[in-house]
Chain A
């Protein structure tokens, strides 16, 4: 018998601190597999966020820099400018990217920095106890919206992939989901595409990934995937919102 599936080189063989069924673990593995398939491990640098993925530097066997909350795109801009041959990516949650760091996100995208952003949309602030994020769904119960997100008071869920697709500096913008096997495979393809866009020097690429947070969705891991499929994609439709060079 031949091994047909195993841990990829870039994913360290170590215990992670993520809760059972957390989407961060799946997303980490997909990023690692893409890096190994593209053969870019030796020249890739990651930027880890503040959020549940704060310890990502323990999980990828890569050079990784930790940025203050929301600032990975600024740090990535600096690193890419110093050595444009490096492949530079950020990995950020919705609190990190779409709340405290949205300024950095928009300006980095607008400048067309040739970096890749992996954006984990789990509709909550996981690390700090499940508070409302800019991406929290209408009516969703969180620690700070105990009777559900009221859009009159708290505004609407932010559509990051669509918003950024409008900026001329952005070459690739897509939303995918970790909801089942076909969508996990599509997520991997989108991550690969985003890295290829950077390798081709085409500018800013982003993949928004709908990702389960069973703990603060107060659901089992299986129910959480169902929630993405049945509820989350209604607010956040999947698709490619921009792909430069594609007719």
Chain B
């Protein structure tokens, strides 16, 4: 059981976290941040195993992981 928190002010919507998540927890969203960037969103919250793969690949340190 894990939890991720996305800092949408830092996210650039690159999609790398979506690609590496083994549980399809993350999805692109239709919401944009203050820079007009479409950020990622936590969709399947209960699926998260707290593996940190998304955070390790994020080029913008926009993800915190809890377990």
Smallest beta-carbon distance B46→chain A, Å: 14
Indicate if the CB atoms of A5 and B64 lie closer than 8 Å: yes
The segment from A17-25, A73-81, A146-154, A167-175 found at the interface with B is: A17-25
- Asked whether, in the complex, the Cβ of A21 is within 8 Å of the Cβ of B63, the reply is no
Residue numbers in A under 8 Å from B16 (CB-CB): 21, 221-222, 225
Binary CB contact string for chain B from 1 to 16 against chain A (1 if under 8 A, 0 otherwise): 0110000011011111
B59's partner among A4, A7, A22, A220 (CB-CB below 8 A) is A22
Report which of A21, A23, A24, A26 forms a contact with B12, defined as CB distance below 8 A.
Answer: A21
For chain B, the bracket of interface size reads: 20 to 34
Residues of B within 8 A of A181 (CB): 20, 53, 56-57
Contact A20 B12 (CB under 8 A): yes
Interface contact B55-A5, CB-CB below 8 Å:
yes
Interface of B is mostly: loop
- Asked whether B60 lies within 8 Å of A4 as measured between CB atoms, the reply is no
Q: Are A1 and B3 in contact (CB under 8 A)?
A: yes
Q: Which residues of B contact A18 (CB under 8 A)?
A: 59-60
Q: Are B63 and A5 in contact (CB under 8 A)?
A: yes
Complex contacts, A19 vs chain B, CB 8 Å: 12
Asked whether any CB of chain B lies closer than 8 Å to the CB of A15, the reply is yes
Residues in A with CB closer than 8 Å to B67 are 1-2, 4
Considering the chains assembled together, what is the distance between the CA atoms of A16 and B58 in angstroms? 13
Shortest Cβ gap from A242 to chain B (Å)? 27
Pair A24/B56 contact, Cβ less than 8 Å: no
Enumerate chain B interface residues (CB-CB to A < 8 A).
2-3, 9-10, 12-16, 19-20, 35, 37, 50, 52-53, 55-61, 63-67
Q: Which of A's residues lie within 8 Å of B, judged by CB?
A: 1-7, 11, 15-16, 18-26, 29, 180-181, 184-185, 214, 220-222, 225
